[in-house]
Amino acid sequence: MKIAIYGAGNCGEYIIREIKEAKKSNIEAMLFIDNNPIYKDKDKYGIPIVDLEGFIKCYCKTVEAVLIAVSDELVAQELAVSLLNKDYKNIYLIPEALWTGKLPVLNSNGGLAVYIKHISDMKPVLPYVEYHVSDFCNLKCRRCGHFSNLVTEKKFPDIIEFENTLKGLQQKFRNVKSFRLMGGEPFVNPDLGLFIYKVREFFPYADIRVVSNGLIIPQAGQETVEAIRKCGVIIDISQYPPTRDMIEKILQFSWDNNLKIQIEEKITRFFISMGANISENYEEIYSKCMSRKCHFLRGENLYACPGVILLFENKEFLEIDVNKNDVIYNSFNLISGNEDGWDIMKAFLSPFTFCKHCTDMEWHNWEPSKGKVDRKDWIINN
């Protein structure tokens, strides 16, 4: 089999050495693919290095398979998606264990070791997802990025619907690297523990976080506390000024209850990014956006970012024209949708049309909401 190795660094070199030193090998390395400009017109071990464009232009018909040679699984996945986006599909992923354990690349018959998998035999990892266990928030910051200061009623999502959605998510992704239960304020939901147990059941290796402003943590019930402890959850505390004022109580409670917490940096500023007008160049807006990897689960759907659905839900208040088809086009139904995890990752790692509603960020000092909330709080160039 004629192969290319995507990644000309240490991992790529390791594969070449393994192939060259094997007693028997049916694998011939034709070239490296690497976009790092330091490798332009270079070779290693006499094997030429080309960038992705060069590979697609000149070699993709002769090379039978590409092995991704990068140790970080999410970076490796991004490289695989960059090939898929060019319609090249014969891609093999190498598990992290091969790099850490310096395992053989080839088996005794000279073929690829069984743990080097074709992407059609391996679901991707969803790097990050966030989910509102409560839209309501006890703090109500002005310009809340998730519009929680507009929410007046404590209504919580249905645990059965959440379970079905997680089932759908699990069919498409083998893991979720970082799963953040948030809101609003998650501790407002008395059943927070049930949501935690469900995430742990479907994604045993996920790094589960509860993202909280901390203010009502000392009032958390024992069932919630136990779920956090049993499921190895970390509480990420967003340090708003009122949070800082009661930080002693929050820390004391977490120590008394053996809860693991992580206190984020002091929050003094918020940004807004919604434009009053449609942006012409949504690709550039996407490339600069800090939220583009904050994928969002709501109902049965997975969205590239929270903005897609939250702008739609609040469009009357915001007095903006958000087309429902645009929302559907920029989301994936996890229960009825036919797309697999790779289709979703292809979309999530590319600029998407909904970004036309955003523009360059504008920063404001943090402050609590006071009086009637104004739509202009979220809109730039009004």
Which tokens in the block code for residue 201?
Answer: 């059941």
Taking the CB of residue 85, how many other CB atoms lie within 10 A of it? 14
Looking at the Cβ atoms of 76 and 144, the one nearer to ligand SF4 is 144
Residues 6+ apart with CB under 8 A from 66: 3, 4, 5, 6, 33, 83, 88, 90, 91, 92
Looking at the Cβ atoms of 58 and 276, the one nearer to ligand SF4 is 276
3-class secondary structure, 257:
coil
Q: What does the alpha-carbon distance between residue 69 and residue 93 come to, in Å, rounded to a whole number?
A: 8
Q: Smallest gap, in angstroms, from Cβ of residue 375 to ligand SF4?
A: 16
Q: Helices 192-202 & 159-172, crossing angle to 10 degrees? A: 20
Q: Smallest gap, in angstroms, from Cβ of residue 244 to ligand SF4?
A: 13
Q: Smallest gap, in angstroms, from Cβ of residue 213 to ligand SF4?
A: 4
Q: Which residues bind ligand SF4 (CB under 6 A)?
A: 137, 139-141, 144, 146, 148-149, 183-185, 213, 273, 285-286, 289, 291-292, 305, 307, 354-355, 358
**Contact indicator for 17, 51 with CB cutoff of 8 Å:** no
Which tokens in the block code for residue 153?
Answer: 């009623």
3-class secondary structure, 303:
strand
**Contact indicator for 207, 182 with CB cutoff of 8 Å:** no
Q: Smallest gap, in angstroms, from Cβ of residue 262 to ligand SF4?
A: 16
Q: What does the alpha-carbon distance between residue 356 and residue 375 come to, in Å, rounded to a whole number?
A: 19
Q: Smallest gap, in angstroms, from Cβ of residue 178 to ligand SF4?
A: 17
Which tokens in the block code for residue 200?
Answer: 């742990």
Q: Smallest gap, in angstroms, from Cβ of residue 235 to ligand SF4?
A: 14
Looking at the Cβ atoms of 168 and 351, the one nearer to ligand SF4 is 351
Q: Smallest gap, in angstroms, from Cβ of residue 253 to ligand SF4?
A: 18
Taking the CB of residue 87, how many other CB atoms lie within 10 A of it? 8
Looking at the Cβ atoms of 97 and 328, the one nearer to ligand SF4 is 328
Looking at the Cβ atoms of 173 and 354, the one nearer to ligand SF4 is 354
Can you say how many angstroms the Cα of residue 380 is from the centroid of all Cα atoms in its chain? 26
Looking at the Cβ atoms of 15 and 310, the one nearer to ligand SF4 is 310
Q: Smallest gap, in angstroms, from Cβ of residue 185 to ligand SF4?
A: 6
Looking at the Cβ atoms of 73 and 185, the one nearer to ligand SF4 is 185
**Three-state secondary structure of 217-270:** HHHCCHHHHHHHHHCCCEEEEEECHHHHHCHHHHHHHHHHCCCEEEEEEECCEE
**Contact indicator for 169, 176 with CB cutoff of 8 Å:** yes
Looking at the Cβ atoms of 141 and 344, the one nearer to ligand SF4 is 141
